[in-house]
Amino acid sequence: MSEIEPQIRNAVRGLIVRDNQVLLLKKDGYETGGVRYALPGGGQDAGESLLDTLLRECEEEIGCRVTTGNLVSVNDFIKRRDTEPVRWRHVVEFLFCCELPIGYRPHNGPAPDKHQVDVVWMPIDQLSDIQLFPQYLGELIPRVCQQQHATYQGRFVDPGFSRS
Protein backbone atom coordinates (compact mmCIF):
# COMPACT_ATOMS: atom_id res chain seq x y z
CA MET A 1 0.00 0.00 0.00
CA SER A 2 1.30 3.45 -0.88
CA GLU A 3 1.29 5.94 1.94
CA ILE A 4 0.45 9.61 1.58
CA GLU A 5 2.08 11.89 4.12
CA PRO A 6 -0.65 13.48 6.25
CA GLN A 7 0.25 17.13 5.63
CA ILE A 8 -0.85 18.94 2.49
CA ARG A 9 2.02 21.03 1.11
CA ASN A 10 1.36 24.42 -0.46
CA ALA A 11 3.75 25.38 -3.22
CA VAL A 12 3.99 28.30 -5.60
CA ARG A 13 5.42 28.51 -9.13
CA GLY A 14 6.31 31.40 -11.39
CA LEU A 15 5.27 31.27 -15.02
CA ILE A 16 7.69 33.56 -16.82
CA VAL A 17 7.05 33.88 -20.56
CA ARG A 18 8.97 36.02 -23.03
CA ASP A 19 8.90 35.80 -26.84
CA ASN A 20 6.93 32.51 -26.80
CA GLN A 21 9.49 30.93 -24.46
CA VAL A 22 9.08 29.90 -20.85
CA LEU A 23 11.82 30.11 -18.22
CA LEU A 24 12.55 26.67 -16.73
CA LEU A 25 14.88 25.11 -14.22
CA LYS A 26 16.91 22.30 -15.78
CA LYS A 27 17.41 19.44 -13.32
CA ASP A 28 19.55 16.30 -13.42
CA GLY A 29 21.01 13.70 -11.10
CA TYR A 30 17.86 11.80 -10.17
CA GLU A 31 18.09 8.08 -9.42
CA THR A 32 15.52 7.44 -12.14
CA GLY A 33 17.85 9.14 -14.62
CA GLY A 34 17.27 11.73 -17.28
CA VAL A 35 16.94 15.48 -17.36
CA ARG A 36 13.70 17.09 -16.25
CA TYR A 37 12.49 20.66 -16.17
CA ALA A 38 10.38 22.66 -13.73
CA LEU A 39 9.09 26.17 -13.23
CA PRO A 40 10.88 28.23 -10.59
CA GLY A 41 9.22 28.11 -7.20
CA GLY A 42 8.79 25.84 -4.25
CA GLY A 43 7.20 25.08 -0.93
CA GLN A 44 5.62 27.65 1.34
CA ASP A 45 7.18 28.00 4.80
CA ALA A 46 5.01 28.38 7.89
CA GLY A 47 3.87 31.99 8.29
CA GLU A 48 5.03 32.96 4.79
CA SER A 49 2.60 34.37 2.23
CA LEU A 50 2.40 32.76 -1.20
CA LEU A 51 3.85 35.87 -2.86
CA ASP A 52 6.72 36.03 -0.37
CA THR A 53 7.40 32.35 -1.09
CA LEU A 54 7.49 33.03 -4.83
CA LEU A 55 9.85 35.99 -4.46
CA ARG A 56 12.19 34.03 -2.16
CA GLU A 57 12.24 30.93 -4.37
CA CYS A 58 12.92 32.91 -7.56
CA GLU A 59 15.78 34.79 -5.91
CA GLU A 60 17.25 31.49 -4.70
CA GLU A 61 16.80 29.55 -7.95
CA ILE A 62 17.12 32.04 -10.80
CA GLY A 63 19.06 34.80 -9.03
CA CYS A 64 16.50 37.51 -9.70
CA ARG A 65 13.63 39.32 -8.02
CA VAL A 66 10.55 38.87 -10.19
CA THR A 67 7.52 41.10 -10.50
CA THR A 68 4.50 39.01 -9.62
CA GLY A 69 1.32 39.16 -11.65
CA ASN A 70 -2.00 37.39 -11.51
CA LEU A 71 -2.74 33.99 -10.04
CA VAL A 72 -3.57 31.99 -13.16
CA SER A 73 -3.99 28.43 -11.97
CA VAL A 74 -4.42 26.28 -8.88
CA ASN A 75 -3.54 22.60 -9.16
CA ASP A 76 -3.38 19.79 -6.70
CA PHE A 77 -1.53 16.58 -7.24
CA ILE A 78 0.01 13.61 -5.51
CA LYS A 79 3.81 13.85 -5.64
CA ARG A 80 6.21 10.94 -5.27
CA ARG A 81 8.84 11.67 -2.63
CA ASP A 82 12.47 10.56 -2.94
CA THR A 83 12.23 8.32 0.12
CA GLU A 84 12.68 4.66 0.91
CA PRO A 85 10.13 3.23 1.28
CA VAL A 86 8.35 5.29 -1.33
CA ARG A 87 6.03 7.90 0.15
CA TRP A 88 3.68 10.36 -1.46
CA ARG A 89 2.67 13.93 -0.64
CA HIS A 90 -0.48 15.86 -1.55
CA VAL A 91 0.65 19.19 -3.02
CA VAL A 92 -1.47 22.23 -3.87
CA GLU A 93 0.36 24.49 -6.32
CA PHE A 94 -0.46 28.11 -7.05
CA LEU A 95 0.78 29.33 -10.43
CA PHE A 96 1.42 33.05 -10.87
CA CYS A 97 2.44 34.94 -14.00
CA CYS A 98 5.69 36.79 -13.36
CA GLU A 99 7.97 39.18 -15.19
CA LEU A 100 11.73 39.59 -15.13
CA PRO A 101 13.71 42.81 -15.46
CA ILE A 102 14.74 43.71 -19.01
CA GLY A 103 18.14 42.20 -19.74
CA TYR A 104 17.85 39.22 -17.38
CA ARG A 105 20.04 36.35 -18.57
CA PRO A 106 19.24 32.85 -17.27
CA HIS A 107 21.58 31.64 -14.52
CA ASN A 108 21.42 29.66 -11.31
CA GLY A 109 20.73 31.73 -8.24
CA PRO A 110 22.69 31.55 -4.98
CA ALA A 111 20.68 28.63 -3.54
CA PRO A 112 19.39 26.43 -6.38
CA ASP A 113 17.54 23.17 -5.77
CA LYS A 114 19.87 20.22 -5.18
CA HIS A 115 19.20 18.76 -8.66
CA GLN A 116 19.18 22.11 -10.48
CA VAL A 117 21.96 22.39 -13.08
CA ASP A 118 20.83 25.35 -15.18
CA VAL A 119 18.12 27.89 -15.97
CA VAL A 120 16.98 27.96 -19.61
CA TRP A 121 14.48 29.54 -21.97
CA MET A 122 12.40 26.81 -23.62
CA PRO A 123 10.13 27.47 -26.62
CA ILE A 124 6.53 26.80 -25.58
CA ASP A 125 5.95 24.69 -28.70
CA GLN A 126 8.72 22.30 -27.53
CA LEU A 127 7.23 21.56 -24.10
CA SER A 128 5.73 18.29 -25.34
CA ASP A 129 9.26 17.10 -26.25
CA ILE A 130 10.76 17.41 -22.75
CA GLN A 131 10.11 15.89 -19.35
CA LEU A 132 8.41 18.49 -17.16
CA PHE A 133 7.72 18.11 -13.48
CA PRO A 134 4.96 17.95 -12.58
CA GLN A 135 3.90 16.34 -15.85
CA TYR A 136 0.65 18.27 -16.17
CA LEU A 137 2.64 21.47 -16.90
CA GLY A 138 3.23 20.41 -20.51
CA GLU A 139 -0.47 20.78 -21.26
CA LEU A 140 -1.21 23.50 -18.74
CA ILE A 141 1.38 26.13 -19.74
CA PRO A 142 0.17 26.61 -23.35
CA ARG A 143 -3.47 26.78 -22.12
CA VAL A 144 -2.67 29.27 -19.36
CA CYS A 145 -0.75 31.48 -21.79
CA GLN A 146 -3.98 31.82 -23.82
CA GLN A 147 -6.28 32.53 -20.83
CA GLN A 148 -6.69 35.71 -18.83
CA HIS A 149 -8.47 34.33 -15.74
CA ALA A 150 -7.58 31.96 -12.92
CA THR A 151 -8.69 28.35 -13.11
CA TYR A 152 -8.70 25.34 -10.84
CA GLN A 153 -7.25 22.52 -12.93
CA GLY A 154 -8.24 19.58 -10.73
CA ARG A 155 -6.15 16.84 -9.25
CA PHE A 156 -3.35 15.14 -11.12
CA VAL A 157 -2.07 11.81 -9.84
CA ASP A 158 1.33 10.36 -10.66
CA PRO A 159 0.83 7.20 -12.78
CA GLY A 160 2.88 5.24 -10.22
CA PHE A 161 0.56 6.06 -7.31
CA SER A 162 -1.84 3.41 -6.03
CA ARG A 163 -4.02 3.51 -2.91
CA SER A 164 -4.25 -0.28 -2.78
Provide the pLDDT for residue 1. Answer: 44
> What distances in angstroms separate CA 60 from CA 19, 26, 46, 74, 90, one per listed residue?
24, 14, 18, 23, 24
Which of the given ranges, 47-61, 78-92, 127-141, 144-158, has the highest pLDDT on average?
A: 47-61
Closest CA to 100 of 119, 115, 113, 114: 119
Q: pLDDT averaged over the chain?
A: 86
Summarised one tens digit per residue, pLDDT across range 38-71 is 999 999 999 999 999 999 999 999 999 999 998 9
Cβ neighbours, 10 Å, residue 26: 18
Cα 95 to Cα 3: distance, rounded to the nearest angstrom: 26
Say which CATH architecture domain 3-157 belongs to. Alpha-Beta Complex (3.90)
Per-residue pLDDT at 142 exceeds 60: yes
Which residue ranges make up each domain of the chain?
3-157
